[in-house]
Amino acid sequence: MIKNKIQTLVLIIFFSLNWTNYAQAYIDPGSASAIITAILGFIAAAGFTVKNYFHKIKSFFSKKDKKDELEKKFEEKS
């Protein structure tokens, strides 16, 4: 019973989203430029976020090595 309701709902949503109306519009160069700029900005922000978190994770796991290196350098200078 519930399965039938879910299937009916899915079919209604599917056909509603696929129902097309003709649009009397176009995308002008200014709109296309804004869309491309937004996409490039999103890619740059995602890349920076991944780089930032990767650096934090990498530094978290390599803290012991850095502390040991700093202690060795300090002992050599003394």
pLDDT, tens only, 30-48: 888 999 999 999 999 999 9
Q: What is the DSSP letter of 26?
A: -
pLDDT, tens only, 5-17: 888 999 898 888 8
Structure-block tokens of residue 56: 């934090």
* Amino acid occupying residue 8: T
